[in-house]
Amino acid sequence: MSTSAQDGKPRPETGTPPGDIPPTEFRAAMHRVADMLADYLENVGRYPVVPHISPGQVREALTATPPQEPEPLGQILDDYQRLIEPGTTHWNHPGFMAYFAITGSGPGIIGEALAAGLNVNAMLWRTGPAATELEELVCDWLRQMIDLPQEFRGHINDTASTASLLALAAARQRPRDCAIRQRGMAGRNDLPVLTVYASEHAHSSIDKAAITLGLGLENLRRVRVDEQYRLDARALREAVAEDRVAGRRPICVVATAGTTSTTSVDPLRLIAQICREEDMWLHVDAAYAGAAAICPEYRALMEGLEEADSIVLNPHKWLFTPIDCSVMLLRDAETLREAFSVVPEYLRTTDHDVTNLMDYGVQLGRRFRALKLWMVLRAFGVNGLQERIRYHCGLAGEFARWVKAEAGFELCAPAPFSTVCFRAVPELPAKQQDRFNERLLAEVNAAGPVFLSHTKLRDRYVLRLTIGNLRTRREHVAQAWELIRGAHARVSGWVRHT
Amino acid sequence: MSTSAQDGKPRPETGTPPGDIPPTEFRAAMHRVADMLADYLENVGRYPVVPHISPGQVREALTATPPQEPEPLGQILDDYQRLIEPGTTHWNHPGFMAYFAITGSGPGIIGEALAAGLNVNAMLWRTGPAATELEELVCDWLRQMIDLPQEFRGHINDTASTASLLALAAARQRPRDCAIRQRGMAGRNDLPVLTVYASEHAHSSIDKAAITLGLGLENLRRVRVDEQYRLDARALREAVAEDRVAGRRPICVVATAGTTSTTSVDPLRLIAQICREEDMWLHVDAAYAGAAAICPEYRALMEGLEEADSIVLNPHKWLFTPIDCSVMLLRDAETLREAFSVVPEYLRTTDHDVTNLMDYGVQLGRRFRALKLWMVLRAFGVNGLQERIRYHCGLAGEFARWVKAEAGFELCAPAPFSTVCFRAVPELPAKQQDRFNERLLAEVNAAGPVFLSHTKLRDRYVLRLTIGNLRTRREHVAQAWELIRGAHARVSGWVRHT
């Protein structure tokens, strides 16, 4: 065996192989990290939710050029604690009540740390047997937990945006005569305009899916909602009929169970019936409220969910799993596989009767996201998860009652889950009312202990308070309410004096 | 303030708020995990690379129904050690030499654990200032490390599949007259067929991008390669000309720096010139070999890289960062933003001059992937990273020399980086030679200590050995070679006796 390199390249046989950092150093650093994480989670409430920093401030504090020489881990962790942790918006903060408050948990962090250690790419069963099978298993657990029939099969994506993209791609794949996978959509005179339907309140990821798939924003019909912000099934039927008359081809409805602004639930049963009649794919975006469906009383608000072709729900939103972990459940996973499976020679295996996760979407690489979800589901149990969801909804219900009872405020939408839309209603013209609420929000958020967000409902500026954080307790909601009332008094004072 | 719930819902004001698992339990479990991770990485070589299990075996060992009651973390970690860890294909194993051997590292694992703790969703600057700015910073460090001009701006996606999809979407967005974002592609008689070009050896993710974007597989031209598996620039020019004559519209070339089968590098300078002349977007898939470009001698193999419109390189492949971490560098990030930015009211902020990462792709949710990359770059330093890349390439070069010197074997392609394509050449007809090599691969992999993969080159079955793992040392490559020679002798024996 010849070993001497003659070509002037560095000779691997000389010197110490460089390898990873020394094992003892890693072990010591991981123990420090264990304490850092535990300390952080115990004390996160001491930070303002949103850091008081200006754009560019974090970056400017760091070296603009890449480090040439290795640095000790201890020094990097010091910088992390000095610059990164305080420069973070604290989604773990009990006062984080904006957007949808996502929430991780101890068991989820542990799962993620172990997954990073294994560093599995479960693109094929063969390259990650446990990762593949655990992914199938935990998705099936979730299927059972939200009471869906056995035929639903699940896999995990990064985000609901990806799942909704895949759902629309499957819907586009289903009409075999279109042959879009092979022939594409441009420059064809045999292909009608393809249309997709979702309510005015469906998530912006549906727009992105329509853009990405080449369907076009203008062919995503934003169907009007009823007074409770639920898709109007009659309007949907009319829109579909109109498109058919015009020679367009309706392929998909995206219904939402828990819209982003108000958490309204579209009439799934009615929509499913229209989809059946019109041969359209029904995708249900339950990214947020799907978590609540593990409680029978909230599942009851989603009657017809079981008739969907695909459903997305995000354990990283409200099932205590660190981001990212978005579960997609499909009645007809085969159509998705037909749309996306591409097996080049270098990925061909002789394995039979296995799931190769790469076949079910855009991404070839698949990290081991099931591990953290498995740990979360076991560490809390279905009962523990239900208890937490109910506690959050209970807090939101209580907040809604405070708002309702307070002069000068109003609730702006039903609050079926843990999100409350409300606003101040000072005696001012509409535009100034909006401006009042904008200032109110800015005032509340500037204080530090809580972070709320906003939306618009019927073109009026509305505040949103959402409970989704494991660390949020009644006292934090009460504090938010006190801050809101205090800010209201101050903003009212300014208005009177200007 | 009224607090009593009248509606029969559980009353949040009574009982203990459920919250996360107890802090002391989490702290203790994280310390156990610190040792589990350190032990695993020190001892991973004791496992077979690919576990000796059958499909379904892991899943069958676990409960089919979701757990109702909470379980102690210790019990879950026991199950992890008993079932999951041994059921895993060990990408960390020094004998993992299949596909592209991805490799994590201690600093990367630490970064991932901390990111899971922070649980930031950096969709907006405001929701993750440090995460957003660190992402911009580390991408700029990488830009400098691979010697690209200042105008390149970077962000991080999950995988190169996503980056290539985005690149093609940007290419589709660039011809303003097409208005595809708004109008889509179906049912239009003003839109020609749009064509994309890549070599026969470009990655399967380019097919998936063509499918997803509705361009169609048949409009992805697979341009022939030269004898060294590099895209033939003359053939590219001809294909583009032919499409123009036929009234089709060429929009993009995907060149590869480090193809999956042989790690060949397409002639970037020539391709860039054609792209300029023909007004096509140039995307360079450097997912694997882009890492090597941090060494000037390997960067020199990619002359013209700096003329690309977009480049993808994966720190999770060969820059010691746990999966997933794929960096996309864009000369013209604005076109990507124009393609994808959708800002609904609930995500509108008053922040100016900030990057909102959600604007640059499909996914709204963005996890804090920059943290682990930052830790890796600092912990190893540019010098340390170069040393490791060179060591890997050196090992591969040595293996290639052994193969070359051995009767009955041949090298099947140049090996410019750390991947070697080779085969046994027994005196048999072509088909039987292929079968011989298939059996050889199966024999080698069945042994346990190493894992190789295969591809086809000019329709012949070829074995691939790739070095990308931090734990792989010369002795492991020597062991692989011994196993290959032993298996060769055995398979030769069977052939003689059948």
pLDDT tens column, A129-150: 999 999 999 999 999 999 999 9
Is A181 exposed, middle or buried (CB count within 10 Å of its CB: 0-12, 13-18, 19+)? buried
On whether residue A287 sits in a domain, the answer given is yes
Could you tell me the pLDDT band of residue A10, with boundaries at 50, 70 and 90?
very low
Q: Torsions phi, psi of B281, nearest 5?
A: -75, 135
For the residues of A436-449, what is the DSSP string, one character each? HHHHHHHHHHHHSS
On the question of pLDDT at B342 being above 90, the answer is yes
Q: Is residue A372 part of a domain?
A: no
| For residue A3, pLDDT beyond 50 | no
* B167-198 CB burial, b ≥16 within 10 A, e <16: bbbbbbbbeeebbbbebbbbbbeebbbbbbbb
State both tokens at B250.
Answer: 């060429």
Among B14, B380, B312, B7, residue whose Cα is nearest residue B155:
B312
Cβ–Cβ contact A356 with B under 8 A? no
Same domain, A163 and A285: yes
Q: Is A446 on the interface with B (CB under 8 A)?
A: no
The shortest C-alpha distance from B150 to chain A (Å) reads 12
Instruction: Indicate left, alpha or beta for A183 from its phi (over 0: left) and psi (-120 to 50: alpha).
Output: alpha
Asked whether residue B32 falls in the same domain as residue B168, the answer is no
Contact of B209 with chain A, judged by CB distance below 8 Å, is answered with yes
Reduced DSSP (H G I as helix, E B as strand, rest coil) percent helix, strand, coil of chain A, to 5: 45, 15, 40
β-sheet bridge partners, residue B153: B330
What is the tens place of the pLDDT at every residue in B297-311?
Answer: 999 999 999 999 999
Would the pTM count as exceeding 0.90? yes
Q: Where are the alpha helices (DSSP H) in A213-284?
A: 233-245, 268-278
pLDDT in tens, A56-65: 999 999 999 9
Place of tokens 């039927």: A237
Contact A127 B478 (CB under 8 A): no
* Secondary structure (3-state) at A68: coil
Q: Do A12 and B161 touch (CB under 8 A)?
A: no
Question: What are the chain A neighbours of B140 within 8 Å (beta carbons)?
Answer: 64
Is the CB of B55 less than 8 angstroms away from the CB of A353?
A: yes
Retrieve residue B223's tokens. 């341009």
Q: Which of B69, B90, B111 is the last residue of a domain?
A: B90
Residue A132 lies in a domain: yes
Which chain B residue has its CA at the smallest distance from A166's CA? B212
Specify burial of residue A489 (Cβ count, 10 A radius: 0-12, 13-18, 19+): exposed
Closest CA to A284 of A321, A311, A258: A311
Judged by a CB distance cut-off of 8 A, whether residue A142 touches chain B is: yes
Is A392 a member of any domain? Answer: yes
pLDDT at B13 over 80: no
CB contact under 8 A, B405 and A364: no
- Asked if pLDDT for residue B240 goes beyond 90, the answer is yes
Residue of A2, A25, A102, A114 for testing the chain B interface, max B β-carbons within 10 Å: A114
Secondary structure (3-state) at A422: strand
CB contact under 8 Å between A473 and B19, yes or no, is: yes
**What type of residue is A158?**
D
Residue B10, pLDDT > 60, answer: no
**CA–CA gap between residue A401 and residue B230 (Å, rounded):** 68
Question: Rounded distance, CA B420 to CA B403, Å?
Answer: 9
Structure tokens at A234: 């009659």
Q: Which of B20, B455, B464, B475 to mutate to test the interface with A (most CBs of A within 10 A)?
A: B20
Write out chain B residues lying below 8 Å of A116, CB-based.
Answer: 104, 108-109, 112-113, 322, 372
Residues from chain B contacting residue A211 (CB–CB below 8 Å): 169, 181, 339-340, 342
Distance CA(A23)–CA(B106), nearest Å, equals 8
| A116/A114 Cα distance (integer angstroms) | 5
Q: Going by DSSP bridges, is the β-strand pair A249-256/A281-285 parallel, antiparallel, or unpaired?
A: parallel
Total number of domains in chain B: 3
Beta carbons of A381 and B481 less than 8 Å apart:
no
pLDDT, tens only, A240-279: 999 999 999 999 999 999 999 999 999 999 999 999 999 9
Quote the tokens at residue A183: 């022939």
Q: Do B345 and A453 touch (CB under 8 A)?
A: no
pLDDT at B1 over 50: no
Does residue B258 contact residue B392 with C-beta atoms inside 8 Å? no
Cβ within 8 Å of A, B 255-314 = 260-261
Residue B176 near residue B348 (C-beta atoms within 8 A): no
Contact B133 A41 (CB under 8 A): no
The answer to whether the CB atoms of A142 and B107 lie below 8 A apart is: no
- Residues above pLDDT 70, as percent of chain B: 97
CA distance B411 to chain A (A): 16
Residue type at A26 in one-letter notation: F
Going by pLDDT thresholds of 50, 70 and 90, the confidence category of residue A352 is confident
Residue pair A168/A213 in contact by the 8 Å Cβ criterion? yes
Segment B120-127 mean pLDDT: 97
User: Which residues in B lie closer than 8 A to residue A19 (C-beta atoms)?
Assistant: 388, 470-471, 473
Residues within 8 A of A (CB atoms), B 14-73 only: 17-21, 23, 25-27, 29-31, 33-38, 40-42, 50-51, 53, 55-59, 62, 64-71, 73
**Domain enclosing residue A285, as ranges:** 121-367
Between residues 457 and 496 of chain A, which touch chain B (CB distance below 8 Å)?
A: 464, 470-471, 473-474, 478, 481
Q: What is the ipTM of this complex?
A: 0.96
A364 touches chain B (CB under 8 A): yes
The answer to whether B328 touches B302, Cβ cutoff 8 Å, is no
Give domain status of residue A3, yes or no. Answer: no
Closest B-chain CA to A217: B182
Q: Does residue A481 lie within any of the structural domains?
A: yes
Element at A463 (helix H, strand E): strand A460-466
Whether B352 and B440 map to the same domain: the answer is no
pLDDT, one tens digit per residue, over B18-64 is 999 999 999 999 999 999 999 999 999 999 999 999 999 999 999 99
% residues pLDDT > 90 (chain B):
94
3-state helix/strand/coil string of A325-342: CEEEEECCHHHHHHHHCC
Query: DSSP 3-state assignment of A498?
Result: coil
**Cβ–Cβ below 8 Å for A194 and B184:** yes
Tokens 């499918």 label which residue? B211
User: How would you label A257-287 residue by residue, b for 16+ Cβ within 10 Å and e otherwise?
Assistant: bbbbbbbbbbbbebbbbbbeebebbbbbbbb
pLDDT digits (tens, 9 = 90+) for B424-453: 999 999 999 999 999 999 999 999 999 999
Reduce the DSSP state of residue B140 to 3 states and report it.
Answer: helix
Mapping DSSP onto H, E and C, the string for B74-132 reads HHHHHHHHHHHCCCCCCCCCCCECCCCCCCCCHHHHHHHHHHHHHCCCCCCCCCCHHHH
- Residue B199's beta-bridge partner residues? B223
For residue A9, the 8-state DSSP code is: S
Distance (Å, whole) CA B450 – CA B477:
9
Instruction: Out of B37, B183, B211, name the one closest to residue A117 (CB).
Output: B37
Closest CA of chain B from A439, distance in Å: 12
CB pairs under 8 A between A and B: 621
> Given B37, B365, B473, which is nearest A323 (Cβ)?
B365
Question: Cβ of A186 and B194 within 8 Å?
Answer: yes
Three-state SS annotation for B11-50: CCCCCCCCCCCCHHHHHHHHHHHHHHHHHHHHHHHHCCCC
**CB-based contact B102 A87, cutoff 8 Å:** no
Q: Is the pLDDT of residue B369 over 70?
A: yes
Instruction: Please indicate, yes or no, whether residues B242 and B287 belong to a single structural domain of this protein.
Output: yes
| Nearest CA among B346, B342, B323, B349 for reference residue B128 | B349
Q: Which amino acid is at B163?
A: A
Q: Are residues A392 and A266 in the same domain?
A: no
CATH label of the domain that carries residue A491: 3.90.1150.10
A283 and A264 in one domain? yes
Give the residue from chain A lying closest to B114, CA to CA.
Answer: A37
CB atoms closer than 10 angstroms to residue B353: 8
Q: What is the DSSP letter of B328?
A: E
Q: What is the DSSP string of B443-476?
A: HHHHHSS-B-EEEEETTEEEEEEE---TT--HHH
A228-249 per-position pLDDT tens digit: 999 999 999 999 999 999 999 9
The answer to whether residue B333 is domain-embedded is yes
Contact B283, B307 (CB under 8 A): no
Task: Supply the pLDDT for residue A117.
Answer: 98
User: Using CB atoms, which residue from A89, A247, A473 is nearest to B128?
Assistant: A89
Q: Hey, is the C-beta of A148 within 8 angstroms of any chain B C-beta?
A: no
pLDDT of A334 strictly over 50: yes
DSSP 8-state assignment for residue A83 = I
pLDDT of residue A496: 83
CB contact under 8 A, A216 and B181: yes
Domain holding B69: CATH number? Answer: 1.20.1340.10
**Cα–chain center distance at B192:** 33
Question: Which residues 66-95 of A are in CB contact (within 8 Å) with B?
Answer: 66-71, 73, 76-77, 80, 83-85, 87-92
Mean pLDDT of chain A: 95
Length of chain B: 498
CB contact under 8 A, A19 and B473: yes
Same domain? For B85 and B138 the reply is no
Q: Is the pLDDT of residue B2 over 60?
A: no
Q: Are residues A254 and A203 in the same domain?
A: yes
Give CA–CA dist B132/B124, Å, rounded.
Answer: 8
What residues in A contact B183, CB-CB < 8 Å? 216, 218-219
User: Are B365 and A158 within 8 A, CB to CB?
Assistant: yes
Residue B408, number of CB atoms within 10 A of its CB: 13
B424 plus B455 within the same structural domain: yes
pLDDT, average across residues B348-370: 94
In this structure, are A183 and A40 located in the same domain?
no
Looking at the complex, report in whole angstroms how far the Cα of residue A284 sits from the nearest Cα belonging to chain B. Answer: 17
Nearest residue in chain A measured CA to CA from B469 = A19
Helix axes B204-212, A160-173, angle to 10 degrees: 80
Which pLDDT value is given to residue B495? 85
Q: Which residues contact B314 (CB under 8 A, 6 or more apart)?
A: B102, B159, B160, B287, B288, B290, B291, B325, B326, B327
Residue A221 included in any domain: yes
Q: Which one of B34, B108, B261 has the shortest CB-CB distance to A346? A: B261
Task: Dig out the tokens for B399 from the structure.
Answer: 């293996």
Does residue A293 share a domain with residue A206?
yes
Q: Count the helix, strand and coil residues of chain B and give each as a percent rounded to the nearest 5.
A: 45, 15, 40
Does residue A8 belong to the interface with chain B, where contact is any CB pair within 8 Å? no
For residues B362 and B340, the answer to whether their CB atoms sit within 8 Å is yes
Sign of torsion over alpha carbons B429, B432, B434, B437 = negative
Which amino acid type is present at position B266?
A: D
pLDDT at B15: 62
By three-state DSSP, how is residue A454 classified? strand
Length of chain A: 498
**B320, closest residue in chain A (CA to CA):** A20
- Contact check, Cβ <8 Å, B127/A89: yes
Residues A321 and A394 in one domain: no
Residues of chain A contacting residue B130, judged by C-beta atoms under 8 Å apart: 51, 58, 83-85, 87-88
CATH code of residue A152: 3.40.640.10
- State the pLDDT confidence band at B7, using cuts at 50, 70 and 90: very low
Which 3 state secondary structure label does DSSP give B195? strand
Cβ proximity of B71 and B30 under 8 Å: no
Confidence (pLDDT) at A15 = 61
> Which DSSP state fits A80?
I
Alpha helices by DSSP H, B184-299: 204-212, 233-245, 268-278, 296-299
Token pair in block for residue A442: 């800015």
